[in-house]
Homo-oligomer: A and B are copies of this chain.
Amino acid sequence: MPRPFNFSAGPAALPEAVLQQAAAEMLDWHDASGRSSGMGVMEMSHRGKEFISIAEAAERDLRELLAVPSNFHILFMQGGGLAENAIVPMNLAGPDAGGAVDVVITGAWSQKSAAEARRYADVRVAASNEADPGTGPCTTLPSPTGWALRRNARYVHICSNETIHGVEFHELPDLSALGSDAPLVVDASSHILSRPIDWARVGLVFAGAQKNIGPAGVTIVIVRDDLLDRALPYCPSAFNYKNVAAAQSMFNTPPTYGIYIAGLVFQWIKAQGGVAEMERRAVARASMFYEAVDGSGGFYVNRVAKDARSRMNIPFFMADERLYNDFLSGAKAAGLLQLKGHKSVGGLRASIYNAMPLDGVRALVGYMKDFQRRHG
């Protein structure tokens, strides 16, 4: 029987080939030349040559996939996106207290980032879509030309793909063209590796791995090297980017197994054709899904403005709320899992990350049409 299609927003589906390799190597990892290590990856000292080779390959492959310039450090950290909302200001809003931080709010995740940064900095909301008229809150992208940016901001924060509200930046803002020389901080958790990143516009990108990469418990931070010396005095040593960068992510014991799985995902993406191919597939998946929603005559609705729609996370709704339970139980029976919407917005949500084959979207769309026929 084929595996069900898993539409979880995160932790999310992994490529089957990655899981198969992980299972096969669980008791005995072999190196590139096929030599047995006598240990599973979970049992290796992070200081040993075996695990160091795994971590170095993961870093190298990620750098290649995203064309990360040499003046950016790639860090494998812990805590997830929510912890990073504190770790970023503790590292970038210093070295003295009270620094200015501008945040653009486009959904639940940038709201959280702004709230958390207020513990450490003088936060101002540069723009917000919370009062979007008509279509509902958090359904458009505020145009960068209207952002209220401060000259002295220590950084500007955006969430480039809002996992809950389904709003995605399809181009990163060029802050210098807007008169700001602050570094741009990008929370790319839920769409990293689905499109290229324009590094000329970026100071720091972070991403919890459990959406478009795989294992929960790994946070990827890619930071420009001139930003390593701005930490507040109470930034914990283990979360100080300068320490982590100097030790190639081995300042303390990293989440070794998660890094290994992330590395397998990077290899899988390379074998598929890289980020360009991931983007092509993402466009194909999202187009198929939005066409089905928009073509349902209003039975299914996605409220996000077309130019702001996420390719990865698609919240959608039905007019009759009583149908949701039927929809979800029927979907599960049809092998379509984890489609319930986030509790803060309700309804349904399809998360269609890199690991989702187009056949999964096709099956979902087929199920939706059938469901509409029976209930419409």
Whether A335 touches B43, Cβ cut-off 8 Å, given contacts A82-B238, A83-B252, is no
- Indicate whether A215 reaches chain B with its CB closer than 8 angstroms: yes
Q: Which residue of B lies closest to A211 (CB)?
A: B253
A8 B83 Cβ-Cβ under 8 A: no
Q: Quick check: is A40 within 8 A (CB to CB) of the other chain?
A: yes
**Interface residue from B19, B236, B237, B254 paired with A216 (Cβ < 8 Å):** B254
Point out the residues of chain B lying under 8 angstroms from A251, CB to CB.
82
- A157: min CB distance to chain B, Å: 16
Q: Does A347 contact B (CB under 8 A)?
A: no
CA distance A81 to B42 in the complex (A): 17
Interface residues of A in 25-69 (CB under 8 A from B): 26-28, 38-40, 42-46, 48
Contact of A43 among B11, B83, B116, B236 (CB under 8 A): B11
Q: A10 near B253 (CB under 8 angstroms)?
A: yes
A19 and B24 alpha carbons, distance in the complex (Å): 11
In the complex with contacts A28-B3, A86-B237, A80-B252 CB distance below 8 A: yes
| Binary B-proximity of A104-137 (CB < 8 A = 1, otherwise 0) | 0000000000001001100000000000000000
A4 within 8 A of B: yes
Interface residues of A (CB under 8 A from B): 3-4, 6, 8-14, 16, 19-20, 22-24, 26-28, 38-40, 42-46, 48, 78-83, 85-87, 90, 116, 119-120, 208, 210, 214-218, 233-234, 236-239, 251-258, 261, 335, 337-338
Q: B16, B214, B237: which contacts A82 (Cβ < 8 A)?
A: B237
CB of A192, distance to nearest CB on chain B (Å): 15
Chain B residue numbers with a CB within 8 Å of A3 are 27-28, 38
In the complex, are the beta carbons of B236 and A87 less than 8 A apart? yes
Given contacts A81-B253, A257-B258, 5 further A-B contacts (CB under 8 A): A8-B45, A11-B46, A79-B236, A83-B252, A87-B236
Q: Complex formed: what's the CA distance from A79 to B255 in Å?
A: 9
Q: In the assembly, what is the distance between CA of A323 and CA of B238, in Å? A: 35
> Contacting A46 at CB < 8 Å: which of B4, B43, B48, B216?
B216
Among B214, B218, B233, B238, contact of A80 (Cβ-Cβ < 8 Å): B238
Residues of B close to A210: CB separation below 8 A: 253, 256
By a CB distance below 8 angstroms, the chain B residues around A11 are 42-46, 253, 256
- Contact status A27-B38, CB under 8 Å: no
Once A119-B234, A236-B116 are accepted as A-B contacts, the answer to whether A22 and B26 lie under 8 Å apart by CB is yes
Contact A116 B237 (CB under 8 A): yes
Cα-based distance from A217 to B261 in the complex (angstroms): 13
Contact of A26 among B13, B23, B254, B335 (CB under 8 A): B23
In the bound complex, how far is the Cα of B48 from the Cα of A257, in angstroms? 23
Instruction: Knowing A28-B3, A78-B80, say if A234 contacts B120 (CB, 8 Å).
Output: yes
- Evaluate whether A39 and B237 lie within 8 angstroms (CB atoms) in the complex, with A22-B26, A78-B78, A217-B257 already known: no
- What is the CA–CA distance of A6 and B81 in the complex, to the nearest angstrom? 34
Residues of B within 8 Å of A217, CB to CB, are 78, 217-218, 254-258
